[in-house]
Amino acid sequence: MSTQLQERLQHIARNLKQARNQKGWSQQDLAAHSGISRRMIAAIEGAQNNVSLGTLDLLANALGVRFMDLITTRSTIDFSPQHPWQGVVVWHNTHPDSHAEMLASPPMPCTTELWHWSLAPGDHYQAAPDRTGVQEILYVIQGEIELEHNGQRIPLKQGDTLTFPSDVPYAYHNPSEGTARIIKHVVLPLLEPEV
């Protein structure tokens, strides 16, 4: 496991445990609220498991915190709605030109996320489905990508924009010989208040 990945997993582990403790929940409580197994939660909190973005989103939703609060690299976290933060690289592949950085997300209740994605030539990213109601808006700022969605491959070139529901499996592919860069705006449904 790379040092960069291990450091990222340690930040996520610390943040998840802190958010769970602030809620007064055990790992079993979080499992019941999120639908993620207690074993998986224990592995994430032990920095032993490379967690998917979809799993992190489910955990953040259950805890009533922003996705960004779980991935931030700050040593202390304030989970209040006014918490300021900086963009963070959340995903990267073996090629240094393939990575995703979360750029912005408003305070709770979080309704949007702004991302910058970069894919090396021939690289791809396979996404798990987001929760029901999530939409993505893609804008290609460099190169070209193919969006694989519902059995279709949709080619997008520089300057193209596309909106699609992301609550099904989907993937980004870079079929070209140059690096592709996209801005991704994720539109999230409002979180339901706890009863």
pLDDT > 50? residue 76: no
- At 102 the pLDDT is 67
Residue 70 burial by CB count (10 A; 0-12/13-18/19+): exposed, middle or buried?
buried
Q: Give SS3 for 97.
A: coil
Q: 170 is written with which tokens? A: 């989907």
Residue 24 burial by CB count (10 A; 0-12/13-18/19+): exposed, middle or buried?
exposed
Residues 143-154 pLDDT 10s: 999 999 988 999
> What's the CATH class of domain 3-71?
mainly alpha
Measured in whole angstroms, how far is the alpha carbon of residue 27 from the centre of its chain? Answer: 21
Q: 172 is written with which tokens? A: 């980004």
- At 190 the pLDDT is 66
Highest mean pLDDT among 5-9, 28-32, 102-106: 28-32
Q: Where are the alpha helices (DSSP H) in 52-91?
A: 53-63, 67-71
Of 76, 87, 68, 16, the C-alpha closest to 46 is 16
The C-alpha angle with vertex 49 and arms to 25 and 95, in degrees rounded to 5, equals 135
Q: 26 is written with which tokens? A: 């055990």
Share of the chain above pLDDT 70, in %: 81
Query: What pLDDT band is residue 188 in, cutting at 50, 70 and 90?
Result: confident
- Whether residue 64 contacts residue 108, with contact meaning beta carbons closer than 8 Å, is answered with yes
| pTM for this entry | 0.58
Name the CATH topology of 88-187: Jelly Rolls (2.60.120)
Contacts of 40 (CB under 8 A, 6+ apart): 49, 51, 55
- At 148 the pLDDT is 96
More confident site: 109 or 69:
69
CATH 1.10.260.40 domain extents, the chain? 3-71
Number of C-beta neighbours around residue 27 at 10 A: 19
Residue 140 burial by CB count (10 A; 0-12/13-18/19+): exposed, middle or buried?
buried
